[in-house]
């Protein structure tokens, strides 16, 4: 069984091998759709609306009931640290 998105897909892209459109149609739809939505709206909608990991974090936060209020400086540092680790 093939996964729709994996590290090997991105590794093969770096090597110049692109997945077949007919065999990996969902992968192409996900990647191109995410890029087009990002260019059209000017922000990454996949991470904020469609990512299953973000959804699970929101559900766990609702179930746990923990609410933390962070300072604006801490939020700004966290936002920029994403690009540092990337």
Alpha-carbon distance of 33 to 26, in angstroms, equals 10
User: What is the pLDDT at residue 2?
Assistant: 57
Among 23, 27, 21, 25, residue whose Cα is nearest residue 6 = 27
For residue 44, what are the domain limits? 7-85
Q: Hunting for tokens 């990512």 — which residue is that?
A: 51
Identify whether 22 is part of a domain. Answer: yes
Q: Is residue 29 part of a domain?
A: yes
Q: Is residue 49 part of a domain?
A: yes
> Looking at the 3D structure of the chain, how many domains does it have?
1
39 is a domain residue:
yes
**Residue 1 counted as domain residue:** no
Return the pLDDT at 3: 61
Is residue 47 one of the residues assigned to a domain? yes
Confidence of residue 4 (pLDDT cuts 50, 70, 90): low
- pLDDT, tens digit, 9 for 90 and up, residues 20-75: 888 788 888 888 888 888 888 887 777 767 777 877 888 888 888 777 788 899 88
Claim: this prediction has a pTM higher than 0.75: no
Q: pLDDT at residue 11 above 70?
A: yes
Asked, for residue 66, whether it belongs to a domain, the answer is: yes
């Amino acid at each position: 069984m093939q996964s729709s998105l994996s590290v090997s897909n991105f590794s093969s892209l770096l090597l110049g091998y692109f997945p077949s459109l007919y065999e990996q149609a969902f992968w192409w739809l996900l990647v191109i759709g995410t890029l087009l939505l990002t260019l059209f709206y000017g922000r990454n909608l996949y991470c904020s609306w469609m990512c299953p990991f973000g959804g699970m974090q929101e559900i766990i936060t609702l179930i746990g009931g923990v609410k933390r209020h962070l300072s604006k400086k801490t939020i700004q540092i966290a936002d920029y640290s994403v690009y540092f680790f990337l």
